[in-house]
């Protein structure tokens, strides 16, 4: 096992250093970021290239984590959230992200909204029966809605009291970014799989031409992977988390909140996993499907993608 040294300025969150294991031409790199175990699997590269790849992957992921997390004070997202109604100039990367958020908001008829994070103040999904009062959520709805923002690239004006949160995009985006970088920098003939806590993408089949075998978590069991599938290219992403819900009078309130009502989406599945060409797209389709609630499967069938929906028995 080799530990890759990363300078402190590239590791502002002071994560443990990345570790590389493997041999010959097959490598497994691990690090932590975005509250997930992150790993890259490399096929057909020599040790030196594998170390280099892991170094880049960790550095880039930590950069994105620092930039897009809403918990890092002083980062661009924090500056926007602290702007108190003043216009903020954003860089190209953030601008692309805001454009994307705008398109997702429109395509989902307002169901996907990066300003919906404030609703968390009313909802604590701890498995208890504590539901908020309707007036509590209605009050918060005044602070929710992408259309309340003024986005004139490169200027974003966020009304006072509102917040934006890229939590629904960041991790999948990081997977794609890292994969794109590694595909560019690694020699011809190598193959890569990037997996951040179950959201993953690969450059193609393994160096030996075989598919990557990927586990799909069964959210009902909360155990290790229960189903495996072969991935020859593209990406998988999962939306949902069965550990977060409320239960009152036999009704299960999922943590998927509809930003238009302030209440959980009725009939939302436990989790949705989607296969798509990129992780970001897979994740967004999975999120859209969750927001459809009971209509998740029908929505996904119309999109013509491979998907797995977990619902509770009965």
Partner 1 sequence: MQLTNNEKNGKPVGRALAAATCALLGVQATDTLARDEPGEWDVETALLVYSETDDRVQAAEPVISATRNYDGDRKLNLKLIADTLTGASPSGATPSDLPQTFTRPSGSGSYDVAAGDAPLDDSFKDTRVALSASWTAPLNRDYTYTVGAYGSKEYDYLSTAVNGSLSRYLNNKNTTLTGGLSLGVDIVDPVGGAPIGLSRMPLKANKTQAQFDQEFAATRESDDTKTLVDALFGVTQVINRRTLMQFNYGVSYSSGYLTDPYKILSIIDDASGANYGGNLIESDGNPVYLYENRPDTRMKHTLYWQTKYMLENGDVMDGSYRFMVDDWGITSHTVDLKYRWKMDKSYLEPHFRYYLQSEADFYKRYLTATEYNGGTPTQSEASADYRLGELTGLTFGAKWGYRFDEDRELAVRAEYLIQTNDGDKGFGKLASQDLYPDTNAMWLQLSYSF
> Residue numbers of the site for partner 1 (CB under 8 A)?
23-24, 44, 96-97, 99-100, 103-104, 106-109, 111, 173, 176-177, 180, 187-190, 203-205, 207, 209, 211, 213, 228-230, 232-234, 275-278, 280-281, 284-285, 288, 292, 295, 298-299, 302-305
- The Cα–Cα gap between 176 and 195 comes to 10
CB of 81 to partner 1, least distance (A): 21
The least distance separating partner 1 from the CB of residue 69, rounded to whole angstroms, comes to 18
Burial of 19 (0-12, 13-18, 19+ CB in 10 A): middle
Which residues share a beta bridge with 304? none
- Work out how close the CB of 298 gets to partner 1 at its nearest, in angstroms, rounded to a whole number: 8
In whole angstroms, the minimum distance from the beta carbon of 234 to partner 1 comes to: 4
- Least distance CB 303 / partner 1 (angstroms): 4
> Where are the strands (E) in 189-233, listed by range?
191-196, 199-202, 212-217, 225-231
Q: Which CB sits closer to partner 1, 229 or 309?
A: 229
Assigned token pair, 119: 């609703």
Task: Indicate the residue among 197 and 233 with the shorter CB distance to partner 1.
Answer: 233
**11 versus 259: smaller Cβ distance to partner 1:** 259
Tokens in use for 222?
């909360």
Nearer to partner 1, 118 or 265 (CB): 265
CB of 277 to partner 1, least distance (A): 5
Please say which residue, 29 or 204, places its beta carbon nearer to partner 1.
204
Angle, vertex CA 32, rays to CA 28 and CA 36, nearest 5:
105
DSSP 156: E
Q: What is the largest CA-CA distance in the chain?
A: 62
Q: What distance in Å separates the CA atoms of residue 284 and residue 101, rounded to the nearest whole number?
A: 10
Nearer to partner 1 by Cβ, of 128 and 303: the residue is 303
Number of Cβ atoms within 10 Å of the Cβ of 209: 9
């Amino acid at each position: 096992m080799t530990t890759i040294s990363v300078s402190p300025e590239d590791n502002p969150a002071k994560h443990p250093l990345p570790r590389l294991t493997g041999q010959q031409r097959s490598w497994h790199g691990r690090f932590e970021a975005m509250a997930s175990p992150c790993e890259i699997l490399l096929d057909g590269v020599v040790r030196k290239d594998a170390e280099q790849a892991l170094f880049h992957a960790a550095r880039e992921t930590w950069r994105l984590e620092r930039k897009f997390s809403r918990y890092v004070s002083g980062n661009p997202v924090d500056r926007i959230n602290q702007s108190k109604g003043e216009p903020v100039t954003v860089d190209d990367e953030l601008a692309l992200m805001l454009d994307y958020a705008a398109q997702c908001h429109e395509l989902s008829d307002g169901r996907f909204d990066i300003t919906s994070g404030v609703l968390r103040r009313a909802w604590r999904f701890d498995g208890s029966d504590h539901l908020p009062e309707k007036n509590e959520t209605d009050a918060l709805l005044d602070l929710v809605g992408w259309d309340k923002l003024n986005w004139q690239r490169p200027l974003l004006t966020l009304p006072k009291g509102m917040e934006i949160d890229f939590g629904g995009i960041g991790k999948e985006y990081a997977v794609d970014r890292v994969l794109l970088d590694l595909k560019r920098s690694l020699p011809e003939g190598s193959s890569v799989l990037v997996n951040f806590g179950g959201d993953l993408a690969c450059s193609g089949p393994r160096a030996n031409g075989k598919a990557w075998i990927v586990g799909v978590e069964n959210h009902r069991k909360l155990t290790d992977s229960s189903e495996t599938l072969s991935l020859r290219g593209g990406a998988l992403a999962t939306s949902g988390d069965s550990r977060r819900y409320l239960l009152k009078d036999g009704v299960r309130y999922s943590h998927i909140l509809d930003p238009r009502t302030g209440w959980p989406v009725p009939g939302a599945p436990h989790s949705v996993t989607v296969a798509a060409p990129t992780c970001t797209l897979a994740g967004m389709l999975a999120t859209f499907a969750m927001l459809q609630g009971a209509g998740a499967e029908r929505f996904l069938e119309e999109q013509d993608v491979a998907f797995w929906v977990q619902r509770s028995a009965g």
